Structure 1
Amino acid sequence: MKVLIIKTSSLGDIIHANSIISDLRRNHADAEIHWLVEESFSSLLNLFPIQKTIVSKFRSWKKNLFKKNSYSEFFQLKHLINKENYDFVIDLQGLIRTGIMCRSLNSFGFNKNSIKESFASYFYKNTIGVEKKIHAINRNRLLVAKSMNYEIDQNNISFSYNFKKDQTDPNSIVFISGTSNDQKKWPLEYWIKLAGLFERNNYKIFLPWGSVKEYEECLTIYDQTTNCEILEKMNIDQLAKKIASTRFAIGVDTGLTHLASSLDIPTIGIYTFSNPDLTGVKNTKTPAFNMGSLSNIPLPEEIFIKFNDLA
């Protein structure tokens, strides 16, 4: 049985979708899983226990919409997918562009009432209704389960990776402060204050970054603390292995925070804008706790108290 999962972006959304792998293996052990993913996130898929990664360039094609090569490459990808003769094509992305990839195949996707780009549902052979007001992880799991006719326990979530973790450093914590959405950020002075609280207990703090702006923010934290280390620039798969060796993660609502939690690292998610009920850190194997909301930004002291409760 060959199954194509379509979840192309973003990092956090792909991490949420990883949870379908263990469900699939449990219910269809013979499934050969292929995954369509955006080029910029393809290195992460090297860590997923799947058989094949298919790379898309939707973002590049969108930026170069009127160039001939964009249309040519788009339909080459469609042709490649058609040739694979998949038994199931399941679109977790729910966009018009991914819906087109599903046309004329045995495809499954959210119905028009369950996704943002409702027109995408017209490209699917089979549409399925999934409640919008449940966590993104279980929305993905339910769509795949209903598509392939099996049941899931929404309270039992697990993630799957294909690498062995290095030995955990018991005194290491990763601070994930960077996000492309400024509304999701936690004040830099709060990160500095929190680092100071950990310094008293001899914790080493690692600061990952992905852009020049995020590096500059990490540098601000580093310059005003004595127990922080800015990590070198890494690919997503390299960073995943580094995070997997730390004892604890604290981060804003961004892909790396969800990655840490999915790697079974105890994690505190800091929420200042988005709804943690829908996109919060979630893991039934290790502690995953969400703090804050649009009207209630948590203080460093509150984060530190919760860390001591969970650690």
Structure 2
Amino acid sequence: MRILIIRSSAIGDVVFASPFATALRRTHPDAHIAWLAEPGIHELLAADPALDEVIVWPKGEWQKLWREGRRIELWRAVRAFRAKLRERAFDVVYDLQGLAKSGFLAWLTGAQRRVGLGSKEGSALLMDEVVERGGDKALIGSEYRHLAEHLGLDLGEFLPRLHVDPAAEQKVLALLAEHGLAPGRYAVFAPFTTRPQKHWTVAAWQALAPRLIAETGLVPVILGGPGDAEAAAGIAAADPRIVNLTGRTRLPEAVAAIRHAALLIGVDTGLTHMGAAFATPTVALFGSTCPYLDNGRANARVIWLAKPCSPCRRRPTCGGSFHCMGDITPAHVLATARGVLGAPHPQEQHA
């Protein structure tokens, strides 16, 4: 059997979906299993032993050709990619994204069986079977677990699994060593994501960092992309001991940094969700989005204040105050961090 998984983006959803590949491998040990992803995202999957192949969809190239009005070249690029997919002769495609773009990619394969998860934007018309999204929303990756159950796969524990690239691991450990940090002696901060209503305030991170160092001895290491540099610099200004690696790590190196962290504190973003993959003690801050309250690990906690307006997702009603996140105090986060680290948890006010 030749199987293709399509979940081309985003980082967090690829993390949530990662046990689906393992369940497929456990159920079909002799199958050829491939995963189709966008450039950059593919690096998250490259070291996964459950996969025989990661296929990179040249999305950026197609978009560039479209913007420049080079329609004939775009058509040729699409045809070439279709040929690449069809020469692999996939028997079944699982579209875990359920969007028009992923449905189109599934259709390009020519596979005899195409199964879509919660297909929308018309992609259901390109599927042979659509499985409605389901499962316990409080459990991490529940919709992918629901699909695996529907398909009768051997689930195992069905928790996120990531695999560290050895070269990336060596590189990030050397980078940390330059700052005097060894594995297990630092805490990763993951403060950044795509929407402002999912952010905790810079002032809150600034207040948390020195207290975390004083009470746990763990040095904060900030991870993020080049576009987060200004906000990261603001957080790092709170204490000279903070290590700011924002924009200095590619995705595989960020994975390795989280793998060796003693603690991970972050907002609803892909890096935070990686904590579950390595059983790294994790404190996840949720506000405008619907949280998983159980990531399957005993050493993880979700802070969600359950405001009446939360989750608002992409339609905030608070006029930009984002108090669902702003009302989470550094004291609350620090107390929760002590809990996941197994440290004493004294009584204190979370005000």
**Is TM (by shorter chain) over 0.5?**
yes
For the 8 Å contact 2:3–2:91, the answer to whether it is kept is yes
CA deviation map 1:260-303 (0-9, x unaligned): 332321211111211103xx6x5424523211256343211011
State whether structure 2 residue 238 is matched by structure 1 residue 224: yes
For the 8 Å contact 1:105–1:125, the answer to whether it is kept is no
Deviation at 1:37, TM superposition (A): 0.2
Q: Distance in 1 between matches of 2:134 and 2:333?
A: 32
State whether structure 2 residue 37 is matched by structure 1 residue 37: yes
State whether structure 2 residue 235 is matched by structure 1 residue 205: no
Give the residue type in structure 2 aligned to 1:91: D
For the 8 Å contact 1:47–1:237, the answer to whether it is kept is no
Say if 1:156 and 1:35 are closer, same or farther in 2 by CA, change over 3 A: closer
Aligned counterpart, 2:275:
260
State whether structure 2 residue 50 is matched by structure 1 residue 57: no
Is the partner of 1:80 in helix, strand or coil? helix
Equivalent residue for 2:90, pick from 86, 92, 104: 86
Query: Equivalences for 1:70-85 in 2 at 5 Å?
Result: 70-85=74-89
Which runs of no fewer than 5 residues in structure 2 stay unpaired? 174-181, 308-323, 342-351
When the two structures are superposed, what TM-score results if normalisation uses the length of structure 2?
Answer: 0.78
When the two structures are superposed, what TM-score results if normalisation uses the length of structure 1?
Answer: 0.87
Q: Percent identical across equivalent pairs?
A: 22
Is the partner of 1:246 in helix, strand or coil? coil
CA deviation map 1:98-148 (0-9, x unaligned): 21222342333336xx3442x10111122223327735612123324434x
State whether structure 2 residue 111 is matched by structure 1 residue 110: no
Aligned counterpart, 1:124:
127
Give the residue type in structure 1 aligned to 2:304: G
Of 298-307 and 23-32, more deviation after overlay is shown by 23-32
Of 167-176 and 84-93, more deviation after overlay is shown by 167-176
For the 8 Å contact 1:22–1:160, the answer to whether it is kept is no
Say if 1:156 and 1:95 are closer, same or farther in 2 by CA, change over 3 A: closer
Of 190-199 and 124-133, more deviation after overlay is shown by 124-133
For the 8 Å contact 1:176–1:257, the answer to whether it is kept is yes
Equivalent residue for 2:105, pick from 101, 104, 128: 101
Is the partner of 2:206 in helix, strand or coil? helix
For the 8 Å contact 1:268–1:307, the answer to whether it is kept is yes
Deviation at 1:87, TM superposition (A): 2.3
Deviation at 1:52, TM superposition (A): 0.7
Aligned counterpart, 2:23:
23
**Aligned residues, how many?**
302
Q: Distance in 1 between matches of 2:58 and 2:298?
A: 35
Q: Distance in 1 between matches of 2:60 and 2:9?
A: 10
Is the partner of 1:85 in helix, strand or coil? coil
Deviation at 1:198, TM superposition (A): 0.8
Which runs of no fewer than 5 residues in structure 1 stay unpaired? none
CA deviation map 1:195-216 (0-9, x unaligned): 121121222110112023x111
Deviation at 1:64, TM superposition (A): 4.3
Say if 1:29 and 1:276 are closer, same or farther in 2 by CA, change over 3 A: same
Equivalent residue for 1:245, pick from 260, 263, 282: 260
Give the residue type in structure 1 aligned to 2:187: I
